[in-house]
Structure 1
């Protein structure tokens, strides 16, 4: 079996640059996922974020989750549950405007660590977008500019815990889906596994690795690359023991950013434009109700919208 792509980003600075760029290219084209090590975010900060996330769950969220499970009678489930996920989550917004100071129950040191972590992830996301531009033969900065919209990109974090589940065969931690946005950066538990992606019809584990950041491609990058890079179905399995932490940060286009296949790629590949042109927030409205369904009908629905309105690209800064 092929091994999951793990990329040492430090090697971009030496004689192994070309081989490393090729690994990134292969991962984007054939996996939709890869794992980064030596990514420039300090291990000490990651350890702090992990410790504070787990403490916050125990102190502020665990009891609420248990009450929810009890109220829905989930421990006694006898058949597969397909309409909900076994997860406890909250959301942080970083860009265009942070809401970290408004989230209740967060200790001050946790707010500070998450802000610092988000700054590192934003920088890493923008570095990765430029590496993708280089591999695709697009001008440097093209993807960042496309994501910009009138107020810059949107960037936020979903903090999740997947507590032990008494019936892991009947309920998923998170049902299979592709991510709607741009590029996703995940800091996952290195002791409790559960994340899987679908490759060639088989579910493959995304290996838990200490201090790594898992990267995956969202629907918008599939559109912009005209299908050269594809967003991939992934899911989280529940486990009978161990509480799995997952901190997923989404570097997405701004709400009013206009998304469409890069003309340079369509011309270079001498193929027709496979995806429509649309405003990102229109796609998100549609995605909200169809997250756990196939992505292709979402793209089709955007084609119908495109034919009924005239979209002028928004001038980027």
Structure 2
């Protein structure tokens, strides 16, 4: 999975650029006019909100209304918010507190955890390894959660408090349980057995990782993006959005919808692997992050993925003479190299998998 042992050019922390007090951003962060936040209209719409309170605590799914609501959202939007999801709001608040504290540590303390494109794990400031690429206005911290063989607490920050690793570990355990429940709902929404997608992901060998995103204040937010438009390469993503500052936008046709986070909710979206497995019944949808000049923004993207060496292709149960297989099989290891090399680029990769006709 190695791309490079190191970045092709010196890494500049976006937070240091923001803290410098400059009135303009470096040219490396200026997007082409067609990719700037004002390049497409914004729609006054909201993504669906689904209440998960009726799901049984033992992980079984006992509510047809939830299955229908989630299935409809995944077919139409590719995104939905969940409330009453079973994760303690107090834990969600502690995660925000701990990680906001990390990003406000002195730079030398954070640099101890600097990452490389070999695994991306640690403190980073760019996605993709193309020299001279136009960069996004954001820093991040990337962590492996599953499989256990990749999880190393020594690469997790022990600062700003002794509870940092414990809080992040507890959060990871709770998000895995939530993802497993959502996978059952998604499977039933496809008319398949509740455990279908989990088995397709490798059962207990499924993967999980997390990226903590930090978007500093930007003096020219109309010229750049915190994260360029892309669909997520993995299975499903569970996002804990900033509870104070909006920034996530979801593509809806030719327009962008700004997501309004519901308090104590998670935002869930379909990734490319579920689009492929569902033979495009469920849609992975482009999304991006805008920044602003007034406030920083913090979010937590939890990625639940197939086992890295499994071939992922359309489920045979969803392939018919009227709807043949739309995609060629590929392992997730091969698939995610694309974004690691090139960074976020719309839906160009999943489109490249379309089977020849």
TM value normalised by structure 1: 0.83
- For residues 142-176 of structure 1, the C-alpha deviation after alignment (integer angstroms, 9 at most, x for no partner) is 11111118x81121100111111111001111111
- Any unmatched runs of 5+ in structure 2? 1-43, 57-61, 112-131
Q: Which region of structure 1 is more displaced relative to structure 2, 284-293 or 133-142? A: 284-293
In the alignment, which residue of structure 2 is the partner of 1:72? none
Alpha carbons of 1:47 and 1:64: their partners in 2 closer, same or farther (altered >3 Å)?
closer
Q: Structure 1 or 2: larger helix share?
A: 1
1:152-231 to structure 2, matched below 5 A, reads: 152-231=205-284
Count, aligned residues: 285
Separation in 1, partners of 2:51, 2:353: 39
Q: CA deviation at 1:119?
A: 0.4
Which of 133, 138, 141 pairs up with 1:90?
Answer: 141
In the alignment, which residue of structure 2 is the partner of 1:71? none
Alpha carbons of 1:301 and 1:290: their partners in 2 closer, same or farther (altered >3 Å)?
farther
- For residues 13-72 of structure 1, the C-alpha deviation after alignment (integer angstroms, 9 at most, x for no partner) is 6xx93333221111100111011111000011111111111111112459979xxxxxxx
Would you say 1:8 and 2:51 are equivalent positions? yes
In the alignment, which residue of structure 2 is the partner of 1:295? 347
Alpha carbons of 1:201 and 1:257: their partners in 2 closer, same or farther (altered >3 Å)?
same
Q: What is the Cα-based RMSD across aligned positions, in Å?
A: 2.4
In the alignment, which residue of structure 1 is the partner of 2:189? 135
- For residues 250-273 of structure 1, the C-alpha deviation after alignment (integer angstroms, 9 at most, x for no partner) is 001111011010111113x84111
Separation in 2, partners of 1:103, 1:11: 35
Separation in 2, partners of 1:301, 1:265: 17
Q: Is the 8 A contact 1:89 1:161 kept in 2?
A: yes
In the alignment, which residue of structure 2 is the partner of 1:255? 308
In the alignment, which residue of structure 2 is the partner of 1:117? 171
Alpha carbons of 1:284 and 1:239: their partners in 2 closer, same or farther (altered >3 Å)?
same
TM value normalised by structure 2: 0.74
Structure 1's consecutive aligned runs of 4 or more residues displaced over 4 angstroms after TM superposition are: 60-65, 296-299, 301-304
Q: Which has the higher contact order (CA 8 A, sep 6+)?
A: 2
Q: CA deviation at 1:141?
A: 1.2
Q: CA deviation at 1:280?
A: 1.4
Would you say 1:284 and 2:336 are equivalent positions? yes
In the alignment, which residue of structure 2 is the partner of 1:49? 95
Alpha carbons of 1:88 and 1:234: their partners in 2 closer, same or farther (altered >3 Å)?
same
Q: Is the 8 A contact 1:287 1:298 kept in 2?
A: no
- Any unmatched runs of 5+ in structure 1? 66-80, 305-317
Q: CA deviation at 1:201?
A: 1.4
In the alignment, which residue of structure 2 is the partner of 1:148? 202
Separation in 2, partners of 1:38, 1:297: 34
Separation in 2, partners of 1:82, 1:26: 37
Q: Is the 8 A contact 1:94 1:155 kept in 2?
A: yes
- For residues 224-256 of structure 1, the C-alpha deviation after alignment (integer angstroms, 9 at most, x for no partner) is 000111111100001111111111010011110
